[in-house]
Amino acid sequence: MDEQLSENESLPRPKGKAELLERIARTRAALEETVGSLSEAQLVAPGPDEGWSAKDHLAHLATWERGLAALLRRDPRYAAMGVDEQSYLSNETDLNAIIYQRNKDRPPADVLDSLRQAQQELLAALAGLTDADLFKTYSHYQPDEPGEDSGAPILGWIAGNTYDHYAEHQAWIRALVRR
């Protein structure tokens, strides 16, 4: 999901870029540790609810992270996420379903490579930002994207598509493996 504000965040938002990068690195390392402990069979085993495997959760994370990197570069998010503009802008479209369908048959190694590439893209996009840039709004980064800007700092979008998102999906992946 593309959460602007965290639902499962127990800590206050980072106050600056260094703290943000540390939190991203820490939660990403925890996700990588979980994923690194899984066999290929565990990565592709379908889940009980929507059928998502651990691999599907990772493809989902990579896609949203790639979209976040595009947002910060001021590139169209939909293109980076591999969805058409109409679907991206529609409030009626389930982007996660599109992402799942597009990735469900990809081999685990390909998805893992994509996840790591997406993180590199994101880290490169974050490298050029200052602490002050983290408190600019979404429309500062995507001025041509229609819709209303809540005025909230982009930091909420970054959290929702990185460390909060990693923790959320890591919990789901762990639950899948325990089944």
Domains of the chain, earliest start first: 17-178 (1.20.120.450)
Question: What number of residues does the chain have?
Answer: 179
Contacts of 158 (CB under 8 A, 6+ apart): 20, 68, 72, 126, 134
Tell me, what's the pLDDT at 147?
76
Task: Examine the pLDDT at 145 and tell me if it is beyond 70.
Answer: yes
Task: Examine the pLDDT at 7 and tell me if it is beyond 70.
Answer: no
pLDDT category of residue 149 using cuts at 50, 70 and 90: confident
Nearest to 116 by CA among 19, 31, 4, 38: 31
